[in-house]
Homo-oligomer: A and B are copies of this chain.
Amino acid sequence: MSVSSSRNLKIGIIGFGPFAQFLSKTMIRQGHILRAASRTDYSNLCAQMGISFFRNVDEFLEAENDVILICTSILSLSEVLRSLPLDRLKRPTLFADVLSVKEHPRNVLLQVYIHKEFDVLCTHPMFGPESGKDGWKDLTLMYERVRIRDEAICSSFLQIFESEGCRMLEMSCEEHDKMAARSQFITHTIGRILSEMEIQSTSIDTKGFERLVQLLENLELAFNKVKQKLVVKKNEKHI
């Protein structure tokens, strides 16, 4: 598929953790206008990045976003979406998510917004702050156009990834989860084992062992993120 049309979008990001921050840098560089809301106060960081940070979710929704980009954790998704005062939205809006599972957000989005005229795009960037630190070229964006009426907005959003050289992979959420259940389960299980063992490079590494050290490096940020969230969860309320 070719996505050629493009325009600057107003993108409201819900959940401004490390993954949202990582995506934001590229979106800002491309000229999109970003807003963010998060249970943690990221107002200083957002000010530095040129992003409007909203502590008040009503004001966030009234800010006329073309896209609401959901970057919450998997665990908090349902609670966050159900708590949003959707009647504050002033216009038809594309709801997109970037969660690493896909059937769950698709089902929640269709349930919560069943009577609304909102579009739904489910995506999974198969990369993150570590693997995408030198650009997104040849990295994969998986997506399903779950319910798209406004083609222009959807195309412009996908163009964010396509213009960076991502491999665009259209795939159903079901198929994604079936594949990922196998590959991601074993990746993260092994990653946790290596992390608990605190394995480190030695002077007699084989290439095989180096792969394990590299795996841990690839997953390190994800682990830090989990640790941060566990700490944050104790101290902060959901938005």
Residues of A within 8 A of B (CB): 124, 126-127, 130-131, 140, 142, 169, 171, 176, 179-180, 182-184, 186-188, 190-191, 193-194, 197, 199, 202-209, 211-212, 214-215, 218-219
The answer to whether B183 touches A126 (Cβ under 8 A) is no
The answer to whether B211 touches A214 (Cβ under 8 A) is yes
| Chain B residues within an 8 Å CB radius of A127 | 206-207
Given contacts A126-B205, A179-B202, A182-B197, 16 further A-B contacts (CB under 8 A): A126-B206, A130-B207, A131-B206, A131-B207, A142-B204, A179-B204, A180-B204, A182-B199, A183-B204, A183-B205, A183-B206, A184-B206, A186-B212, A187-B206, A187-B208, A208-B215
The answer to whether A211 touches B212 (Cβ under 8 A) is yes
| Chain B residues within an 8 Å CB radius of A140 | 203-205
Mostly, the A contact residues are helix
The answer to whether A183 touches B202 (Cβ under 8 A) is yes
Q: How far is the CA of A91 from the CA of B214 in the complex (A)?
A: 48
Q: Which residue of B lies closest to A214 (CB)?
A: B211
The answer to whether B212 touches A218 (Cβ under 8 A) is no
The answer to whether B197 touches A209 (Cβ under 8 A) is no
Task: Jot down 15 A-B pairs with beta carbons below 8 A, ordered by A.
Answer: A130-B207, A131-B206, A140-B205, A169-B203, A176-B204, A182-B202, A184-B206, A186-B194, A188-B208, A190-B193, A208-B219, A211-B211, A211-B212, A211-B215, A215-B215
